[in-house]
Structure 1
Amino acid sequence: MRKILPILALGFALPGAVVLMRHGDLSQMFAAFAEPPGLMQGCGDVPEAVALAEELRDRALRIERYLESVEARKAELAAAQTSLTRKLVELRAEKTGIQSHRSGNSAAVRDDIQRLIAVYDQMKPAEAAAIISNLPPDFAAEILIRLQPENGARIIASVEPQQAALLTAEMGARSVRKQ
């Protein structure tokens, strides 16, 4: 008895494997036919059989439409993925360009600030104080912080006491913000 079971299992599994190999696409196995050959032969007078055959045909048609919609969605998703990948590459290229542009701009700004600091370093303290007292306090504090300490001290000493106190407070606040 034990020797017969494996032989029977192989006998039933082999035809199923052949059918699966023949029909690599399983959706084709479930495709609806307009009139299945021989399905209703001899059963046309049984209403339950006719209703069941129609129900099966309707289900097969719905399955077929669903599989078609799945394939259409797959194609849409593949197109969307291609589009998104292309857009991502473009955005990364733009980001790289922006970053290089920013670094170029920041280098130019640093150079401009260094030139401005050099100009204030060369000025007489009274002249520099007259200009700095008319600048916005945060900008004036930035300049004073970057000057040589001796020149910055002379310029602050030449500014009105109230303005000097404001600039000193701004310089201290800037130093605290940096930390």
Structure 2
Amino acid sequence: MVVALLLAGSAVLRLGDDAGRAYARVEAAGTEAPPPAPTGCTPPPDIAALLDAFRTREDRITRREAEIADRAQALSVADQAIARKLAALTEAEEKLRATLALADTAAEDDLNRLTAVYQNMKPAEAAALFEEMDPQFAAGFLGRMDPAAAAGVLAGLSPQTAYSVSVILAGRNANVPKD
């Protein structure tokens, strides 16, 4: 009986194993591969017109993007050129400012030196020079001089010249705003 049971169990196992393979063959035979996709399909006319419109639009957009890229490149080059020119202009402005400052200080230095020369001269010699100067010019130097030296020069001038220079000195700040 045991032997019969073992034989029956073996038969069931073999049938079950073959049955699975048989079922797989039946299912595979029933499922066919889909037909190959058509390669030369022509769309309906309304879709074809729409596709042509899309292609035309895509071409136009591509050209426009290329134009924009070219323009952006040109603007980049122009920006770089402007930046270089602006830097050069700033440098030139700084040099000009330095030159003007030098010119201003040079003129002021020259006036200070000449004033010191007149101030160190003997009053009679300086008065002879100031007598020949334009009263405006003479007043400018006398206004810069030490008061004691200016008094000595003014005392050596003729009364008319001394008066003219004194009036100019007295009135040169008359129009300054009084806050």
The interval holding the TM-score normalised by the smaller chain is 0.5 to 0.7
In structure 1, C-alpha distance between the alignment counterparts of 2:79 and 2:56, rounded to whole Å: 34
Distance 1:147 1:43, change over 3 A: same
The 8 Å contact of residues 120 and 128 in structure 1, kept in 2 or not, is answered as no
Identity %, equivalent residues: 26
Question: What amino acid does structure 2 have at the position aligned with 1:81?
Answer: D
- Structure 1 vs Structure 2 CA RMSD: 3.1
After superposition, what is the alpha-carbon deviation per residue over 1:128-152, rounded to whole angstroms, capped at 9, x for unaligned?
44234x15x3x54432321111233
5+ long unaligned stretches in structure 1: 1-37
SS in 2 for 1:43: coil
Which residue of the other structure, out of 78, 81, 106, is the alignment partner of 1:80? 78
Contact 2:115–2:144 (CA under 8 A) maintained in structure 1: yes
* Alignment length (residue pairs): 133
- Provide the residue aligned with 2:166 in structure 1: 164
Aligned match of 1:57: 55
- Following superposition, the deviation at residue 63 of structure 1 comes to 1.0
* 1:4-47 deviations in Å (ceiling 9; x for gaps): xxxxxxxxxxxxxxxxxxxxxxxxxxxxxxxxxx9x94225x2x
Residue number in structure 2 paired with 1:127 = 128
Q: CA deviation at 1:118?
A: 1.9
Measured in 1, the distance between the counterparts of 2:71 and 2:95 equals 36
Structure number with greater Rg is 2
Measured after TM superposition, the shift of residue 79 of structure 1 is: 0.6
The TM-score normalised by the length of structure 1 is 0.58
Provide the residue aligned with 2:111 in structure 1.
113
1:20-39 aligned within 5 A: none
Structure 2 distance, partners of 1:41, 1:105, is 88
Instruction: Rate the CA distance shift 1:129–1:140 in 2: closer, same or farther, 3 A.
Output: closer
CA–CA separation in structure 2 for the residues paired with 1:54 and 1:144: 95
Q: Distance in 2 between matches of 1:59 and 1:98?
A: 57
2:13 is aligned to none
Stretches of structure 2 that go unaligned for 5 or more consecutive residues are: 1-37
The reply to whether residue 43 of structure 1 matches residue 76 of structure 2 is no
The Cα shift of 1:81 comes to 1.8
Structure 2 counterpart of 1:127, one-letter code: A
Q: Equivalents in 1 of 2:152, 2:55: separation in Å?
A: 98
